Amino acid sequence: MEPTKIKILIADDEEDILEFVSYNLRKEGYHVYTAKNGKEAIKKAREHIPHLIILDVMMPEMDGMETCREMRQISKLNDTIITFLTARDEVYSQIAGLEAGADDYITKPIKQNLLISKIKSLLRRQLDLKLEDVYVLGNIVINSEQYKVTCNGKEYELPKKEFELLKLLATKPNRVFTRDEIFNRVWAYNEIVGDKTIDVHIHKLREKLGIDNIKTIKGIGYKYEYRD
């Protein structure tokens, strides 16, 4: 996808950072929106449905963590990449950000070349992954239109919930999905399911496909581990 077609939202209450990041991204051709706090970021995200959202951790009115969690409950933002801005030594913030639903993080102080490289990598990871509803992750191909999965050359027709669970994890490789988020996205909160429902479906996927990419993040949820 051409940069001019890609929408990026940046939320930070520090004017100099906001100007620096937005200037460099606009120079690359991206369509950039800005917000100075979490509430404004959510409003603009709903309005513009950006491909990528960059959130500062510490913001007035609503911090980055809370903003991210709320954004992850907005169905129109399901395919949006969210990354945090964190200080280099803020390991706790980086982990907490991923647990809140972020896909990655960018460390401060921000260097222009590293910023652009990171943004391009995040966008390529997400935008190049999907092609006409077909997701390709190494030896696994997920066809959303036909509800079929091919693994190591063998084709599988999975039950609907197993398929949707696998697809959810695969759409954002290496991102941790919390158990609550998985319930919301795959089963929806209005469905009555047992506490072990996700675990059972994960076990079946691993067993049927013979893969070890689906990793359990103890006390949090699951992720699909993948490296190019």
Give 39's Cβ-side CA count (13 Å radius). Answer: 3
**Dihedral angle over CA of 133, 135, 136, 142, nearest 10:** -100
Same structural domain, 115 and 202: no
Q: How big is the CA angle at 29 (ends 28 and 35), to the nearest 5 degrees?
A: 95
Q: How many domains does the chain have?
A: 2
What is the CB-side half-sphere exposure of residue 124 using CA atoms within 13 A? Answer: 7
Residue closest to 182 by CA, chosen among 223, 127, 215: 223
Helices (H), 49-159: 64-71, 91-99, 112-127
Q: Give how far Cα 200 sits from Cα of 86, 165, 197, Å.
A: 36, 11, 5
High-pLDDT (> 70) share of the chain, %: 87
Q: Is the pLDDT of residue 130 over 60?
A: no
- Edge-first strand order for the sheet with 140-143 is 130-131, 134-137, 140-143, 148-151, 154-156
* Same-domain pairing of 12 and 111: yes
Nearest to 177 by CA among 222, 214, 126, 213: 222
Domain CATH for 195: 1.10.10.10
What pLDDT is stored for residue 186 in this prediction? 85
pLDDT at 173: 87
127, 148, 166 - which closes a domain: 127
pLDDT in tens, 197-228: 899 999 999 999 998 899 999 889 999 998 66
CATH code: domain of residue 47: 3.40.50.2300
Q: Are residues 83 and 31 in the same domain?
A: yes
Q: Who contacts 113 (Cβ-Cβ below 8 Å, separation ≥6)? A: none
Q: Given 111, 127, 143, which residue is the final one in a domain?
A: 127
Are 8 and 32 in contact by the 8 Å Cβ rule? The answer is: yes
Cα separations (Å) of 63 from 67, 147, 219?
6, 38, 23
pLDDT digits (tens, 9 = 90+) for 4-55: 689 999 999 999 999 999 999 999 999 999 999 999 999 999 999 999 999 9
Do 69 and 165 have their domain in common? no
Place of tokens 């929408």: 7
Residues 83 and 140 both lie in one domain: no
Whether 69 and 115 map to the same domain: the answer is: yes
| Reported pTM | 0.61
Q: How far apart are CA 102 and CA 38, in angstroms?
A: 14
| 72-112 pLDDT, tens digit each | 889 888 888 899 888 766 667 777 777 788 888 888 888 88
- Contact between residue 63 and residue 70 where contact means Cβ atoms under 8 Å apart: no
Domain with 165, as residue range(s), is 131-224
